[in-house]
Structure 1
Amino acid sequence: MAVLFTGEPPRLDELRDRVAERWGSVPLLCRTLLRPARHGGVRGHRWFPLDDFDVRTHVLDAHVEGRWGSEGLDDAAFTDLLGRLVSQPVPEGVPPWWLRLVRLEPHPHGEARFALVLSAHHALIDGRSFESLLSRLLDGGAGRTGRVSDTGRPVTRKRQITHLRDALTTDKAAAGAYRLPRLLSPGQALPLPSDAPCPTRDLAWVDLDADTVRAARRALPGLGATLNEVLMAVSAGALRAVHGDPAAWPGARHPLYAVLSVDLRTPQEAEVLGNIVSVVRVPLPVATDGPQERLRVCRALLAASVFGRGAEKSVRVIRAAARLGSWAVRRLSQRANSPSWNPVLCTAIKWRRGAWTLGSAPMERVIPLSSAQGRGRVNLVLTDCAGVFTLCVVGHTPTGYAQPLADAFVRELASLAHIGKPALSVPTRMTGTPYQTTG
């Protein structure tokens, strides 16, 4: 996750002192990940606690040289840096996280800008933890505390086998006439050229107009659509715009699935750090004509009963596989890592409101950095930081794929907003806790 600021950046030693003061007491940041003793062993990766972490190892700096034009900084150099950071593996033998102070080239006639970029292993912290840690590091909001807790419940081996068997056979959760597909049922992959080289990561991010987002949430009668619903519907339209008629896609008889991350924390656990998430797998309405109809379908798919029940089913399956042993985890991951199972990841982030600063430098925006876990997958992450909306697209896809998809998202959002205008405000309606991914 990257946070942009307007103003002079702190010195590196000042940032390290701040990290030591505000993160030094967080046990989660003092864990290192140990690999199995041998490949295919019964015991998998495990966490090993350390006494502390070395800020000189984990807090680093970087410099971006940009080009200045009539509209200010050319963000290509900064975006290129973010792409490299997303693809760079976290360190081994030490706690798997980094914080980088990125110094942007100063404008000769304007204010300086800089960024903090926090990277971590996805198994260490989830998106909500990213936001909690970064807000704890900043000034201007309420104090943040973090603790690690085991939210799992004791489960017998017989119940574990039952959960895994049920997930591999059928899923009976339904809302009205809609029935969720089987959790591990086959889908179609993104229609990418089979011979095109795929880099480690392809990244693009765009600023979204706040009035356009609010109008898009008003495109259906009644209460305003959630960010998850808008993100999913607009992503479907953007993919359709990039790839053409879905009927001509290879494997069109199968749905194109999207995976949505769901925060499992209760309100009482809002400050608990760790990876406390599940996922819901739903078919994207790419074959549905019209942005308003796609939003209507997404609202039905993410109805509260289906959204919550699907997340519960997913976490039961993962826990069952983990407790059964590494063989079950490998079997499950082989299916889940297929490009046809989760080719698209949609994540909505809402940063806590407040006038956040780092020293005297006000926070400008948040850019979510999500890792595309495998070849042929793309992640679309939408953030709302005090009404400043940013979309980040990260794909393990052919070079140049992310930017056209981000541009198509902007056009599809505008089409949906045209239906919803005028939009003055959006009442709150939740269909599950918005969750943010690891950055």
Structure 2
Amino acid sequence: MDLLNPIDAVFLAIESREHPMHVGGLQLFEPPADAGPEFLHDIYTAMAGTTEVRTRFRRRPSRRFGGFSSLTWSHADKVDLGYHLRRSALPTPGGMGDLIDLTERLHGTLLDRHRPLWEARVIEGLDDGRFAVYIKMHHALIDGVSAMRLLQRTLTDDPFDTRMRVPWGTAPVVKDAVEPESSLSQLRKALPRMIKSTTYIAAPLRGAIDGRLTLPMTAPRTMFNVSIGGARRIAVRSWPLERINTIRLATGATVNDVVLAMSSAALRSYLIEHDGLPAEPLIAMVPVNIRSTADADASDGNLIAACLANLATHLEDPVERLNIISTSMREAKKVFTQLPKLEAMALSALLMTPFGLSLLPGFEALPRMPFNLVISNVPGPRKPVYMQGARLDSNYPLSIPFESQAMNITLTTNGDNLDFGFVGCRRTVPDLERIPEHMEAGLAELERALT
């Protein structure tokens, strides 16, 4: 058994039917020019034939203490690939709307906790000849950076390389063998650190937040900040990275700052359309990778910090919004870079659990929630990549709307593009497809302002 870190434990503990805690990805592939009618069948067969399953893809919550535990993992001796990997076809003619409809249904269903916490689906029938692969994994198993690195190891930049690589069969980097610790030994060693983290957060971290973060520890209530259900709406879109880089170079901002500015413009316009724009600026939680070079291959679980960004949605001027966002992100990152990794993760876990901070001395009076939604930028492949000769055309990350945060925006690099996945609660976020339209309008607005 393996001990969960604080963030992984939170993702398992807060999951319910209304709040599925898995992340996913929808990849669209262009078959090679010489692909025959059996091409996709052969791909599925090759995937299903990869029966050597690595440790991460055998994990499920431990059934200790009279039920499922959020403290440790157990491992399945056998993995039923016939359950975890399936093949689907869209109704004819299969358009992107049909693919998104199927993906919404797949993304809104819970993973079975009696089994390892992942599923994959090969999807055919698109009318333009492409095919799709959808995969979802519980967020306690993996964070976005780890998931994208895992994906890149399954693909190749050689279009003539026909070896099949799948996420569950990808061999981890070999390290010097060590004798595994027992769960009891791990827990005994971790408890003093966990206690230390909690007491540390209650005083010095509170000072760090009050003294160096410019944001209040609350966010204005919007139509996104309500109780949510488990059904999902999904929208996807891609933008050329060149357009974002032009603004980055003109302003000194980062790519992520420009993405946040696009998101700010979209949220502002969407809320104005629904007569719901608050006078105070919206706050986004922006996950930031805190892996060191030494952690690069130790990718199990989540190693992220939860930065809070002022989206400046109360301002009309797009350049002024971008400047405030850039300053806000710089200040937020300073706080986490000055903390030991364990304390940074513990603080992030509490920020990501709205009720968590109220459990600590000195934080009982904090109102509502610290952020309105999550906006996450995950590095992806920077050049064309292939699976058995099929080129990865689009790579849309699909993440988690949280309770009281009914929408999520996640993006990843894909060659010369940024691919965005928008996921919202089906009941409380109407017209989700308007968000990417407003993102385009926000990007164009910045381009005009800087020319």
Q: What's the TM-score bracket when you normalise by the shorter of the two chains?
A: 0.7 to 0.9
Shift of residue 217, structure 1, vs aligned partner: 2.4
From 165, 181, 192, the counterpart of 2:215: 181
1:141-192: CA deviation from partner (whole Å, max 9, x where unpaired):
7997536999x988546633422313784434766xxx4336xx22222235
Partner of 2:223: 191
Structure 2: distance between partners of 1:120 and 1:277: 17
- Partner Cα separation in structure 1 for residue 156 and residue 348 of structure 2: 42
Check if 1:368 corresponds to 2:397: yes
Equivalent residue for 1:205, pick from 232, 236, 239:
236
Q: What is the rounded CA distance, in whole Å, between the counterparts of 2:101 and 2:157 in structure 1?
A: 30
* Partner AA of 2:417 in structure 1: V
| Higher mean displacement: 349-358 or 237-246 | 237-246
Q: Does the 8 Å contact 1:321/1:329 carry over to 2? A: no
- TM-score norm. by structure 2 comes to 0.74
Alpha-carbon deviations, 1:329-370, whole Å to 9, x = none? 6966999xx974332111112213343211121111211111
Q: Which amino acid aligns with 1:49?
A: H
Change (3 A) 1:199 1:125: closer
**Structure 2 gap ranges (5+):** 1-24, 32-38, 181-185
- What is the aligned partner in structure 1 of residue 444 from structure 2? 414
CA distance, structure 2, for counterparts of residue 217 and residue 320 of structure 1: 30
1:135 aligns with 2:152: yes
Residue 84 (1) aligns with residue 105 (2):
yes
Task: Indicate yes or no: 2:431 matched with 1:401.
Answer: yes
Checking the alignment, whether the CA contact within 8 Å between 2:225 and 2:406 is kept in structure 1 is no
Change (3 A) 1:92 1:296: same
* Pairing 1:46–2:46 present: no
Q: Cα 1:135–1:386, aligned 2, differ >3 Å: closer, same or farther?
A: same
Alpha-carbon contact 2:228-2:406 (below 8 Å) kept: no
- Helix, strand or coil: the match of 2:398? coil
Offset of residue 78 of structure 1: 0.8
Measure how far apart 1:37 and its partner are: 4.0
The answer on whether the counterparts of 1:160 and 1:321 sit within 8 Å (CA) in structure 2 is: no
For 2:341 and 2:291, the matched residues in 1 are separated by: 15
Within 5 Å, give how 1:29-68 maps onto structure 2: 29-34=57-62, 37=65, 44-65=70-91, 67=93
Q: Given residue 27 of structure 1, which amino acid in structure 2 is its aligned partner?
A: T
**Partner secondary structure for residue 99 of structure 1:** strand
In the alignment, the residues of structure 2 paired with residue 270 and residue 405 of structure 1 have an alpha-carbon distance, to the nearest angstrom, of 34
TM-score (norm 1): 0.76
Pair 36,84 (structure 1): closer, same or farther in 2 beyond 3 Å: farther
Q: Which runs of 5+ in 1 are unaligned?
A: 68-72, 422-439
After superposition, the C-alpha distances for 1:89-117 in whole angstroms (9 at most, x for unaligned) are 1122111001111113344xxxx211111
Assess if the C-alpha contact under 8 Å between 2:148 and 2:379 holds in 1: no
Which of 241, 260, 284 is equivalent to 1:258? 284
Q: Matched residues, percent identical?
A: 19
In structure 2, the partner of 1:357 is 386
Shift of 1:121: 0.6
Larger mean Cα displacement after TM superposition, 305-314 or 95-104: 305-314
Whole-Å separation in 2 of the counterparts to 1:418 and 1:360 = 40
Check conservation: 2:401, 2:423, Cα contact below 8 A. Answer: yes
Task: Give the drift of 1:293.
Answer: 1.2
Amino acid aligned to 2:218: P
Which segment is superposed worse, 140-149 or 266-275?
140-149
CA distance in structure 1 between the partners assigned to 2:103 and 2:333 by the alignment: 32
Counterpart of 1:5 in structure 2: which amino acid? F
Partner SS for 2:141: coil
Q: Is the 8 A contact 1:146 1:273 kept in 2?
A: no
Alpha-carbon distance between aligned partners in 1 of 2:438 and 2:349, rounded to the nearest angstrom: 39
Amino acid at match of 1:89: L
The within-5 A match list for 1:6-405 is: 6-7=30-31, 8-11=39-42, 12-17=44-49, 19-20=50-51, 24=53, 26-34=54-62, 37=65, 44-65=70-91, 67=93, 74-107=95-128, 112-140=129-157, 145-146=171-172, 155-156=192-193, 159-166=196-203, 169-172=206-209, 179-181=213-215, 185-191=217-223, 200-220=231-251, 223=252, 225-244=253-272, 249=277, 252=279, 255-274=281-300, 275-303=302-330, 306-310=332-336, 312=339, 316=343, 319=346, 340-396=369-425, 398-405=428-435
Q: Output the CA distance in 2 between the equivalents of 1:20 and 1:123.
A: 23
**Does the 8 Å contact 1:32/1:50 carry over to 2?**
yes
Native 8 Å contact 2:224 2:429 kept in 1 = no
